[in-house]
Structure 1
Amino acid sequence: MAAQLYKTENGRLFHAGAVAIITVGLPARGKTHVSRSLCRYMRWMGVSTKVFSVGNYRRERLRTIPEEYFDPNNKAAFAARIRIADDCLDDLIEWLQHGGGQVAIYDGNNVTEERRREIHDKLVNQDIHPLFIESICNKPEIVLANIRSVKISSPDYVGWEPEEAVKDYTKRIEQHKINYETIADLSLPFVKLMNVGEQLIVNNVQGYLQSRVVYYLMNLHNRPRTIYFARAGESLNPNLYKVDAELSPEGRQYAENLKNFMIAYREKKRTEANNSEDQERPLSIWTSTRKKSRQSALPFAEAGFPVRQHSVLTQLNPGEVDGLTPEEIKQKFPEEVARARQDPYRHRYPRAESYHDLAIRLESIIMELEREKNDVLIIAHDTVLRCLYAYLFDRPESEIPTISIPRPFLVEITPTAYGCKETRMEITPESCV
């Protein structure tokens, strides 16, 4: 569970009951990306959510895939695929009814009307609200990009040569096309997601949770991009929040080093990139409205990069412990220190914010980050970066206060269909040339 925004005793929110989200569509249409991204967002909201992947069940049962396993004319293979898919669906139902879950995502192809009606009726009979999400791509370049960027890294193709993996997966897509039927039954609640976010068609969607799903999908895309995190430079008075001090000389030098490092690093990546989109993707800088963040981004602005200030990126407000040393806090607020140790994520000192408060404040920037199609460098305080990092990597709320985002490191985060990947690079004067 990530940074849970809301919490109830029974673990279910908004009186929405149990919801099952069923993916629909041909392979390489972004279904896994949608499933995992949506799961991460719902968990961040505090909704107990889990992905049930038919592909994972198949890999666990078979280890290796027979050559004609996806051939629609192979009746024995078709029956085996249905058995595995049904086992996955039964486990989903069990988790929703007895495992403390509220939203389960059934990640599979589900390409026929008959199969979808069967799933719908089975869920409704168990008092589970179904919602179908059909991923449709009518642009060949998007499909090819999905095949290359996602399926080469898929567990199905570990150890394969990239071109052979592309060839095999293309064949699998053609086999699924034979029986594929787009959703036409208007009695079903569904969302049609065109070209991973270019257009949404919504039908018969009801309830708060389902509406939040639609809202999230409106902001989702799977275009390649990179997110960078960097601490703001050190200020003249780093221990006093209320002062809002300017950067120290060391902080100004750090800001210059950060700019030089980013330019050199991105130029190197552009030179090595095979994809023209990677070569041309611009970079924007996001900061808080605090002086040290704005001034840390100033070298980028002077170099021509767009810089945007967001007040919600302001660091956690320490309240009455502002400027106090750990020893002084223990002496002045011994009871508060004990409470903070018990629940460091939700505890707030007098007139202060907790990490929980900060996570709620950052929800709008998270949605903006999901919408962003270009590369972004976020320069902020470590408290802010911890929360954003926890969202992207689906980290438990209990870990957030201790996530390490040290200065002078640059954290490079690359979202993929199977989760985010990170690289940490130390910014030194030698690395900035």
Structure 2
Amino acid sequence: MPTAIATGEGDTTSLIPKKRRQSQHSDIAKAVLVARQGAKLMSTSALPPPAIEDVAENAKQVQLEKDKPVASKDTLLAPPKSSLGRALQAVAMGSQNHGPAMNDTPLPSAPSTAPGSPRLFPVRQNSGTVTPRVRPPATTLNIPGMTRSRVSPNGKIASRDVGAKLVIIMVGLPARGKSYITKKLQRYLSWQQHESKIFNVGNRRRVAAGSTQGPVSPPQNSPPGSPKRSDTTRSIGAAMDAPTQAAHILLNGVDPTQEQNELTKLPSAEGMDQSASFFDPKNSKAAQLREQVAMSTLDELLDFLLNQGGSVGILDATNSTVERRQVLFNRVKEREPKLGIIFIESVCQDQKLLEANMRLKLRGPDYKDKDPESALADFKKRVEAYESAYVPLGQYEEDQNMQYIQMIDVGRKLVHHQLQGFLTSGIASYLSTFNLSPRQIWITRHGQSVDNHLGKLGGDSDITQAGRNYGTVLYNFISKKRTEWEVDQKSRALAAQEFLGPGDRTPPYPELLGDLDSKNFCVWTSMLQRSIQTAQDFEDDENYDVKNWEMLNEIHAGKFEGMTYGDIQQNFPEEFAKRAEDKLNYVYPGVGGEGYLQVISRLRDMVRELERIKDHVLIIGHRSVARVLMAYFMDFTRDDIADLDVPLGLLFSIEPKPYGIEFHAYKYNDEEFWFDELVGYKPQKETVKGN
């Protein structure tokens, strides 16, 4: 007996056999599934996707049609009114004809008894809804020369990937090495081709408080030999920006741009005394100025990242209180919530190191031309003023899920929390390599090879007799300089027991010298014969530790290996022109072909090792390797790397210092079999095109 089944709310008039009703439900479910698949195919057309209610209703209609007697061909081909109905009709026809459903294959003119082979085509589906979703912050690898994408063909951080950019906020009391860390970090990031810049709050504070001159950063793309940031000064009045001007008015009640109607004149008598009392937390007027200056400097940093294509901005200041750090954090998130923020704190627990750092501060602009004894006493009072309100990084930042790195005694110990992204993890790895041990790093090319003599690129030829002579003279010269350096360091260590005056170049860390006689001397070569053979005399002396490194190999010229530049210009003029136009980004075609960006990437670990070890190092490499390493240590711009003049026979000496590097250059004298120092030598671009 039929069972009454309700087909709708309050509807009990339709009587359907229970067994048949279940079968119909199954068929309808299959039809709905097919209809969904058809709807997906139709989603790429201009037709809007049907509602699920329409799918179910049309599926029911198809099933009811199947229950009726078979209609005539004309009736079956009568087009339904809706697009979905037409799609379902195609499904039904495909099922009855055993032919392909939902494709563009025309129906056969006569029924076929053989089953058809469906032609399936992949259809691109939308990644989300019609409205683009909010992209999460991109924090994956960005390595120029090693990665690329549609939005960033050169591998740099794309403007839209704001989440991959980084704000570094320094933290720490004065004389803890913050400026030393920021300069090295900025140099490393720029060398890796990430647009980075330091924004020093102290410089802006000195301007706003009425100093007549102050240090100024030169253009980031200055040529080799141009003045560095530390030795450039300018008149402040003409350069004062709006935020600093406002801070000056707040402090002194005078608009410096209006005084005597001259932009370049600032009130000289009204400037606030910036002795220790200026940094006392109880000095409300000075505190208000410092707050204003810090915020305006941060805004300048954010403009660099958001509007000027920057990747990393470093805020160099004490930021010694939780309140100040929270204000800075909030300011960044107000401007751009996706920007990455990391705090880096420099802590100094070694009292001897701290004393040496304090004496180094006497060379700074705050104590220029002042009595060393009274200046040191005043500076210690300034530190005590900061210490009264100082709160180191720790529990508060962890509770707020803030990223931070705590660096103790300039690399002796490193603590970090919640690091996210490629840049932050790379920075932590780089900071862990720091050491202040006095040492020398020597860089030169190999002696002349057979291919050098023929003007050929690449290859693995032996050195000539002239090349062997160069290796022997190099060994003799380095051995002599090694002995001279040890004698000099011992005398400096004794002299350093006395008070250091302003401008004194004595190494400030004599306690770190240790036993100079036991300092190792490493000689690193590439794995190419011309480099290995140049180091043969060092290999025969047990006082030197010789290693061969594949990452020091010359840039690979791909299919141009073994050719001369003349051959390339004649046979491949387009490639020759492309390289001449942009040598830094150019990559040699063919298997194994490299460019300068690839050389930079493979030397990244080499640079970290050079920063980590406390031994002397002599690198006997190749032209591209010497250029890239010199660019790192000398803080050259990307426009200078690929054109740096590094001929055979030139020897560079680099001695890391807390204030930078000490640099010397020597030229091989093949008549005297010795090296002559090039006094006052400045690295320059080569004059021979094509190299």
If the length of structure 2 is used for normalisation, what is the TM-score? 0.57
Between 225-234 and 416-425, the greater mean CA deviation after superposition: 416-425
Q: Kindly report which structure 2 residues correspond to 1:207-246, keeping only aligned pairs within 5 A, or say none.
A: 207-238=421-452, 239-240=455-456, 243-246=459-462
- The aligned counterpart of 2:388 is 178
Name the SS of the counterpart of 1:69 in structure 2: helix
Tell me how far 1:350 sits from its aligned partner: 3.1
Question: Given the superposition, is the C-alpha separation of residues 72 and 313 from structure 1 closer, same or farther in structure 2, using an over 3 Å criterion?
Answer: same
- The aligned counterpart of 1:147 is 358
The answer as to 2:171 corresponding to 1:24 is yes
Alignment partner for residue 80 of structure 1, among 279, 289, 298? 289
Tell me how far 1:410 sits from its aligned partner: 1.9
Question: Given the superposition, is the C-alpha separation of residues 204 and 347 from structure 1 closer, same or farther in structure 2, using an over 3 Å criterion?
Answer: closer
Tell me how far 1:229 sits from its aligned partner: 0.9
Question: Given the superposition, is the C-alpha separation of residues 361 and 114 from structure 1 closer, same or farther in structure 2, using an over 3 Å criterion?
Answer: same
Residues 191 and 631, structure 2, Cα contact 8 Å, conserved in 1: no
The answer as to 2:331 corresponding to 1:122 is yes
- The aligned counterpart of 1:257 is 473
- The aligned counterpart of 2:307 is 98
Tell me how far 1:364 sits from its aligned partner: 2.1
Letter in 1 for 2:390: Y
Tell me how far 1:348 sits from its aligned partner: 3.0
The structure, 1 or 2, with the larger RCO (C-alpha pairs under 8 Å, 6+ apart) is 1
CA distances 1:71-106 after superposition (whole Å, capped 9, x unpaired): 444333333222222221121122222222232111
* C-alpha distance in structure 2 between counterparts of 1:23 and 1:211, whole Å: 16
Question: Given the superposition, is the C-alpha separation of residues 168 and 258 from structure 1 closer, same or farther in structure 2, using an over 3 Å criterion?
Answer: farther
The answer as to 2:157 corresponding to 1:12 is yes
- The aligned counterpart of 1:193 is 407
Residues 201 and 293, structure 2, Cα contact 8 Å, conserved in 1: yes
- The aligned counterpart of 2:52 is none
- The aligned counterpart of 2:618 is 377
Tell me how far 1:23 sits from its aligned partner: 0.8
- The aligned counterpart of 1:66 is 274
CA distances 1:388-429 after superposition (whole Å, capped 9, x unpaired): 112223323232221012332321123345544422123444
Tell me how far 1:349 sits from its aligned partner: 3.4
Tell me how far 1:124 sits from its aligned partner: 2.0
Residues 261 and 427, structure 1, Cα contact 8 Å, conserved in 2: no
Tell me how far 1:313 sits from its aligned partner: 0.1
Question: Given the superposition, is the C-alpha separation of residues 396 and 282 from structure 1 closer, same or farther in structure 2, using an over 3 Å criterion?
Answer: same
Letter in 1 for 2:532: R
* C-alpha distance in structure 2 between counterparts of 1:234 and 1:176, whole Å: 58
Question: Given the superposition, is the C-alpha separation of residues 154 and 262 from structure 1 closer, same or farther in structure 2, using an over 3 Å criterion?
Answer: farther
The answer as to 2:641 corresponding to 1:400 is yes
CA distances 1:184-234 after superposition (whole Å, capped 9, x unpaired): 312232111122222222222223332222222223334443322112111
Residues 458 and 554, structure 2, Cα contact 8 Å, conserved in 1: no
Question: Given the superposition, is the C-alpha separation of residues 242 and 330 from structure 1 closer, same or farther in structure 2, using an over 3 Å criterion?
Answer: closer
Question: Given the superposition, is the C-alpha separation of residues 417 and 299 from structure 1 closer, same or farther in structure 2, using an over 3 Å criterion?
Answer: same
* C-alpha distance in structure 2 between counterparts of 1:229 and 1:163, whole Å: 40
Q: Kindly report which structure 2 residues correspond to 1:315-354, keeping only aligned pairs within 5 A, or say none.
A: 315-351=554-590, 352-354=593-595
Residues 314 and 380, structure 1, Cα contact 8 Å, conserved in 2: yes
Residues 653 and 663, structure 2, Cα contact 8 Å, conserved in 1: yes
Residues 523 and 619, structure 2, Cα contact 8 Å, conserved in 1: yes
Residues 393 and 419, structure 1, Cα contact 8 Å, conserved in 2: no
Name the SS of the counterpart of 1:237 in structure 2: helix
Tell me how far 1:338 sits from its aligned partner: 1.4
Letter in 2 for 1:248: T
* C-alpha distance in structure 1 between counterparts of 2:282 and 2:673, whole Å: 62
Letter in 1 for 2:170: T
Q: Kindly report which structure 2 residues correspond to 1:257-336, keeping only aligned pairs within 5 A, or say none.
A: 257-273=473-489, 274-275=492-493, 276=510, 277=512, 280=516, 281-303=519-541, 304-336=543-575
Question: Given the superposition, is the C-alpha separation of residues 102 and 164 from structure 1 closer, same or farther in structure 2, using an over 3 Å criterion?
Answer: same
Question: Given the superposition, is the C-alpha separation of residues 167 and 268 from structure 1 closer, same or farther in structure 2, using an over 3 Å criterion?
Answer: farther
Tell me how far 1:132 sits from its aligned partner: 0.8
Residues 414 and 421, structure 1, Cα contact 8 Å, conserved in 2: yes
- Give the structure with the higher percent helix: 1
Letter in 2 for 1:194: I
Residues 151 and 165, structure 1, Cα contact 8 Å, conserved in 2: no
Between 93-102 and 189-198, the greater mean CA deviation after superposition: 93-102
Residues 264 and 432, structure 1, Cα contact 8 Å, conserved in 2: no
Number of residue equivalences:
430
* Root mean square deviation of aligned Cα: 2.8
Question: Given the superposition, is the C-alpha separation of residues 307 and 168 from structure 1 closer, same or farther in structure 2, using an over 3 Å criterion?
Answer: farther
Tell me how far 1:108 sits from its aligned partner: 0.7
The answer as to 2:448 corresponding to 1:248 is no
* C-alpha distance in structure 1 between counterparts of 2:459 and 2:421, whole Å: 46
Letter in 1 for 2:321: T
Between 293-302 and 153-162, the greater mean CA deviation after superposition: 153-162
* C-alpha distance in structure 2 between counterparts of 1:32 and 1:325, whole Å: 46
Question: Given the superposition, is the C-alpha separation of residues 272 and 219 from structure 1 closer, same or farther in structure 2, using an over 3 Å criterion?
Answer: closer
Tell me how far 1:4 sits from its aligned partner: 4.6
Residues 189 and 196, structure 2, Cα contact 8 Å, conserved in 1: yes
Residues 653 and 664, structure 2, Cα contact 8 Å, conserved in 1: yes
Residues 26 and 111, structure 1, Cα contact 8 Å, conserved in 2: yes
Structure 2 residues not aligned, in runs of 5+: 1-142, 213-272, 494-509, 677-691
Tell me how far 1:325 sits from its aligned partner: 3.3
Question: Given the superposition, is the C-alpha separation of residues 308 and 174 from structure 1 closer, same or farther in structure 2, using an over 3 Å criterion?
Answer: farther
Between 63-72 and 323-332, the greater mean CA deviation after superposition: 63-72
Tell me how far 1:112 sits from its aligned partner: 1.0
Between 136-145 and 57-66, the greater mean CA deviation after superposition: 57-66
Tell me how far 1:52 sits from its aligned partner: 0.8
The answer as to 2:362 corresponding to 1:362 is no
* C-alpha distance in structure 2 between counterparts of 1:95 and 1:350, whole Å: 36
* C-alpha distance in structure 2 between counterparts of 1:15 and 1:72, whole Å: 36
If the length of structure 1 is used for normalisation, what is the TM-score? 0.89
- The aligned counterpart of 1:205 is 419
Question: Given the superposition, is the C-alpha separation of residues 359 and 217 from structure 1 closer, same or farther in structure 2, using an over 3 Å criterion?
Answer: same
* C-alpha distance in structure 1 between counterparts of 2:166 and 2:550, whole Å: 35
Name the SS of the counterpart of 2:451 in structure 1: coil
Tell me how far 1:385 sits from its aligned partner: 0.7
Structure 1 residues not aligned, in runs of 5+: none
CA distances 1:328-387 after superposition (whole Å, capped 9, x unpaired): 222111111111122112223332322222222222212222222322221111111101
